[in-house]
Structure 1
Amino acid sequence: MILSASCCHRICWLSRRTATIAAALPKKSRKDIISLDRSEGKEKQSRRNGNSRGDGGNEGYKRPIGSFSMLIIPVVTFGLGCWQTYRLKWKLDLIEKLRERLNEPAVDFPLDDLSQLQNMEYRRVRVTGEFLHDREFPIAPRGRFDPGHAERTTASMLSNDNLSSHGAHIVTPFRLLNSDLVIMINRGWVPISRISPNSRQDSQVKGIVTFEAVVRKSETRPQFMGANIPEKGTWFYKDFDQMARQYGTAPIYLEAVYESTIPGGPIGGQSNVTVRNDHLQYLITWFSLSAVTLAMWFLRFRK
């Protein structure tokens, strides 16, 4: 195509005008334009690099969310430690309450309303009736519980069967006065040599007697303890229902107090407040886990 003379003249005029305007711009403005172009180029390059890694350029937002989510572990374990602290205090208060109950004055056995016994564990009651010695049986092995025994024998190096901690508890059915109800009485502890009733005939009380005893509840079988063998008279733990069926009694079990002890017979007062209390171990475990996981989080994300 052949351009006319007027068109060529117009193009030449525009070229000269553009050159004149560019020359008139300050040097600083020209540098800013160049710097802006370079910045835009770097930003585009950065976006391309981010896309090639597959992170979409959102790495700066994902890291805080991921790191703070890992704080859930120390927070939760700290909360569990606080809960176990509360449970420990509650359990210690319960144990103290039960120990105080052991020292409260005795009340009459609730013969007319046996359901009251459910809320009377470790409470002293007064019973009257007679022992059925022909049905007695031992629970073994059992150690002797006597808080004052160690103090009385500290100065002595003598060791005899009567002071041994290895023995059994003697349980004897007991028929309540003016009633057909037969309950079980743990008369106390005897050493191994006196488990047989023939070895303590003088202590086998006959006739109507009145004494105080402590209400107890049945046990569940401990994890590593053998099973009872009722037909052989072998009892490792107190299962009141099993005992009641085997010896024809009600599933009611009392432990005679120390004052009921007869010379040569079972030693009463074997009621020890035994309430499972593992809350201190749990408390230490949870707080330790909280501290360790928090330290791990700090070392990992402190930057």
Structure 2
Amino acid sequence: MITIGVVWATCVAVLLALGIWQVERRAWKLDLIDRVERRVHTEAVPVPGPASWPGTNRSDDEYRRVAASGRFLHDRETLVQAVTVEGPGYWVVTPLQTAEGVVLVNRGFVPADRRDPESRKAGNPADEVRVTGLLRLSEPGGGFLRHNDPSGNRWYSRDVVAIAAARGLAHAAPFFVDADATPNPGGFPVGGLTVISFANNHLVYALTWFTLALMLAGAGLQRLRRAYGGLGSSAAQGLEWDHRQADIRRHEASAS
């Protein structure tokens, strides 16, 4: 019985700990959403330079509005498969040569019939440009059940390191920039399609864990009540039996 009680108490404690952890995760997620909302609506700041690249991280930098100036290296662009509100097609990821290094820029979306750069030549400026957008971190590996294939030039995610290596880009930033909705000549690529969405189901998960803990605790207490209540009843019945036997013996003794 003691072993069962220890196991039961441990399970309840674990469920409570999981619920508390989800509450803490929810607080962290709400703080993240608030920070991102503030970042995307602030004035653009200069894109981080090489000295800041090693410290660039998701918590402090992702979705920050940034701006960079330079020339696009259109001959080294990479098409990454995408599905957007505009339909299926590709992201056009183009290196931007700045004074401090190379920054990959997701210039926006093009449908399959605009995959050929010649079909959107008007939107490929040769002169220096200023790009504003949101700083994003690399998406290594590929997409769901699909791995990037640099040798076959098939890309399913914006893997900065792999794209830079495949295009022979030296001194490239470890992040990319999602260009904003500033129109490009000819209408393509279409920028400003960044989806900012964070799943926040932590409250539901917390309530689930707490409910399971409560149910398990209730079931355990009911089991203990039955076990010890039954023992008490048996003892009382035994005591009553002893009293009856004593009365019988006294009655027999007096009769004799």
Confirm or deny a common fold (TM above 0.5).
yes
Q: Which amino acid aligns with 2:91?
A: H
What amino acid sits opposite 2:83 in the alignment? R
CA contact (8 A) 1:130 1:174 kept: yes
Residue type at the aligned position of 1:196: D
Match among 16, 19, 22 for residue 84 of structure 1: 22
Whether 1:229 and 2:149 are equivalent positions in the alignment is yes
Cα distance, 1:299–1:91 mapped onto 2, change above 3 Å: same
Normalising to structure 1: TM-score of the pair? 0.64
Counterpart contact for 2:84–2:193, Cα < 8 Å: no
Q: Tell me the SS of whatever aligns to 1:78.
A: helix
Runs of 5+ consecutive residues of structure 1 not aligned to the other structure = 1-62, 145-163
Deviation at 1:124, TM superposition (A): 1.4
Aligned to 1:134: 75
Superposition deviation, residue 279 in structure 1 = 3.3
Contact 1:225–1:236 (Cα < 8 Å) also in 2:
no
Instruction: State the alpha-carbon separation in 2 of the partners of residues 267 and 282 from structure 1.
Output: 38
Which of 194, 204, 211 pairs up with 2:124?
204
Q: Using the alignment, how far apart are the partners of 1:262 and 1:299 within structure 2?
A: 74
Q: Which residue of 2 aligns with 1:121?
A: 62
1:180-199 to structure 2, matched below 5 A, reads: 181-199=101-119
1:300 to 223, 248, 255: 223
Match of 1:100 in 2: 38
Aligned-residue offset at 1:103: 1.0
Count matched residues: 219
Deviation at 1:223, TM superposition (A): 7.9
The letter of the residue matching 1:290 is A
Alpha-carbon displacement from aligned partner over 1:115-149 (angstroms, at most 9, x marks no partner): 364442211122111111111111113323xxxxx
Alignment of 1:143-292 (within 5 A): 143-144=84-85, 164-176=86-98, 178-179=99-100, 181-221=101-141, 224-249=144-169, 250=172, 251-275=174-198, 279-280=202-203, 282-292=205-215
Q: 2-side partners of 1:190 and 1:87: how far apart?
A: 37
Stretches of structure 2 lacking an aligned partner (at least 5 in a row)? 227-256
Higher strand proportion (structure 1 or 2): 2
Cα RMSD (Å): 2.5
Residue 268 of structure 1: how far off its partner (Å): 1.1
Q: Distance in 1 between matches of 2:118 and 2:126?
A: 15
3-state secondary structure, aligned to 1:234:
coil
- Summarize the Cα distance change of 1:112–1:83 in structure 2 as closer, same or farther, 3 Å threshold: closer
Are 1:107 and 1:125, in contact at CA under 8 Å, matched by a contact in 2? Answer: yes
Corresponding letter in the other structure for 1:141: A
- Cα offset, 1:187, TM superposition: 0.3
Distance of aligned partners of 1:184 and 1:246 in 2 relative to their CA distance in 1, 3 Å threshold: same
* SS of residue matched to 1:207: coil
Residue of structure 2 equivalent to 1:31 = none
Q: Which is higher, the Rg of structure 1 or of structure 2?
A: 1
> Distance between the aligned counterparts of 1:132 and 1:223, measured in 2?
25
The aligned amino acid for 2:225 is: R
Check conservation: 2:15, 2:209, Cα contact below 8 A. Answer: yes
Counterpart Cα distance in 2 of 1:185 and 1:98: 20
Structure 1 position 192, deviation (Å): 2.5
CA contact (8 A) 1:133 1:172 kept: yes
| Identity level (%) | 32
Deviation string 1:142-181 (CA, Å, 9 cap, x unpaired) is 323xxxxxxxxxxxxxxxxxxx4222211011111x45x2
Q: d(CA) in 2 for partners of 1:228 and 1:211? A: 27
SS in 2 for 1:301: helix
- Structure 1 residues 219, 233: closer, same or farther in 2, change over 3 A? same
**Once the 2 structures are TM-superposed, how far is the Cα of residue 220 of structure 1 from its aligned partner?**
4.0
Distance 1:217 1:274 in 2: 15
* Residue equivalent to 2:48: 110
Using structure 2 for the length normalisation, give the TM-score: 0.75
Q: What CA distance in whole angstroms lies between the structure 1 residues aligned with 2:143 and 2:122?
A: 38
